[in-house]
Amino acid sequence: MSPARKPPQISLPVLNDDPRGWEVKVAVAVLQFHGRLERRMSEALSPHGVTLAQYDVLMTLWHGDGITQQELAERLLVTKANVVGLIDRVGAAGWVERRPDPCDRRANRLYLTDAGRKLAIEAQPGQFALVRKIFGGLSEEELQQMHAFLERLNGASTECG
Amino acid sequence: MSPARKPPQISLPVLNDDPRGWEVKVAVAVLQFHGRLERRMSEALSPHGVTLAQYDVLMTLWHGDGITQQELAERLLVTKANVVGLIDRVGAAGWVERRPDPCDRRANRLYLTDAGRKLAIEAQPGQFALVRKIFGGLSEEELQQMHAFLERLNGASTECG
DNA sequence: TATTGTTATACTCTATAACTATA
DNA sequence: TATAGTTATAGAGTATAACAATA
């Protein structure tokens, strides 16, 4: 059972109130808000004995079982070496299992167990409720606007160079 | 010299594309964007040999020297025990020093050293440039809108219960 | 040769609890 | 008694490098 720890540090005052324009103000606000969001999501998860990183694994597999560790590493933007430890932990908790790929004997395919699905079903409503609560202060139209902004920023922050 | 590591895991697909409304979509987008932002800020910091968490410390002290470890812990939303290690590390790098509080012999006051100020001066422009680049795709008006949304969300996510 | 997964090693950050010195 | 800082312990997550088995 993973011992319910707080999320990593929130990286709040990375940039302090500075006169150099709104970009920095927004960046600070994003960092600040993300810290709180992450913290509260972690707290909501902790009664289920799962960390946010582990929940990411479960949700990725919930979205689509049977991927390899390498594929999971790519989706999580983590090295394959780290996936080993991650799967060791969710595996030890009984939520995920490795099955050898019959066509490629180097590879493992990852599957949610019944317990893993059960956990996801139990934990998801709380997560959704929390998110609805936190974002409930914005209207649907405002949420759509913010979503559009973030999509554009996600595009920009993916660019190289 | 702290060895320039990547930020913690990005917590991306915590909630997957789900039919239950825009709150969840926006939450996923925030998590996603924050992951990229944090990663790129860390990368920009790593040539200076400082982590994001350590940079937080430096920026907090840049903003105002002479606070106690307890006060720093409160601002960083971290336990005082963690601040000990954090200050040990930035202290070992020569960026911050503890000076005993003359009025309260239990307390330390934290000060940026010349090297710490030098580092901040060297690292800040890169951070600001990066932020301007990432957020440059949004107009000033859009940035102001987004800032307003985030401020409202920050208020909401602070509420208890 | 390239790829999948593994192990080994080391570091940062976090949490809790118990402790010391001082207030 | 309460507070500031420390130490001890533990665990999660990350990175790099080298390795085995397989393709």
CATH number of residue B109's parent domain: 1.10.10.10
Both tokens assigned to A154: 């996600």
Q: Which residue's C-alpha is at the least distance from the C1' of C15?
A: A5
Q: What is chain B's mean pLDDT, rounded? A: 85
Q: Model confidence at B2, in pLDDT bands (50, 70, 90)? A: very low
Q: Is the predicted pLDDT of residue A42 greater than 80, yes or no?
A: yes
Instruction: Report how far Cα B10 is from the mean position of its chain's Cα atoms.
Output: 15
Q: Is the predicted pLDDT of residue A57 greater than 50, yes or no?
A: yes
- On whether the CB atoms of residues B68 and B108 are closer than 8 A, the answer is yes
Q: Residue B159 carries which DSSP code?
A: S
Q: Is the predicted pLDDT of residue B15 greater than 60, yes or no?
A: no
Query: Tell me, what's the pLDDT at A157?
Result: 61
Q: What is chain A's mean pLDDT, rounded? A: 85
- On whether the CB atoms of residues A86 and A60 are closer than 8 A, the answer is no
**What is the CB neighbour count within 10 angstroms for residue A105?**
7
Question: How many structural domains is chain B composed of?
Answer: 2
Q: Which domain holds residue A85?
A: 50-123
Are the Cβ atoms of B62 and A143 closer than 8 angstroms? no
User: What's the whole-number mean pLDDT along residues B14-39?
Assistant: 77
Does some domain include residue B7? yes
How many interface pairs between A and B have CB atoms less than 8 angstroms apart? 221
**Bases of strand C lying below 7 A from some protein CB:** 3-8, 11-18, 21-23
Q: Is the predicted pLDDT of residue A7 greater than 50, yes or no?
A: no
Does some domain include residue B95? yes
Q: Model confidence at A13, in pLDDT bands (50, 70, 90)? A: very low
Q: Model confidence at A71, in pLDDT bands (50, 70, 90)? A: very high
Mutate one of B12, B23, B76, B80 to test the A interface: name it (highest A CB count within 10 A).
Answer: B23
Residues B56 and B100 in one domain: yes
Q: What are phi and psi of B110, to 5 degrees?
A: -100, 135
**Of residues B33, B40, B155, nearest to A154 (C-beta):** B33
Q: How far is the CA of B60 from the C1' of D11 (A)?
A: 28
Query: Tell me, what's the pLDDT at B123?
Result: 92
Q: How far is the CA of A55 from the C1' of D17 (A)?
A: 29
User: What's the whole-number mean pLDDT along residues B45-55?
Assistant: 92
Does some domain include residue B151? no
User: What's the whole-number mean pLDDT along residues A16-39?
Assistant: 80
Q: Is the predicted pLDDT of residue A116 greater than 90, yes or no?
A: yes
Does some domain include residue B153? no
Which chain A residues have a beta carbon less than 8 Å from that of B150?
26, 29-30, 32-33
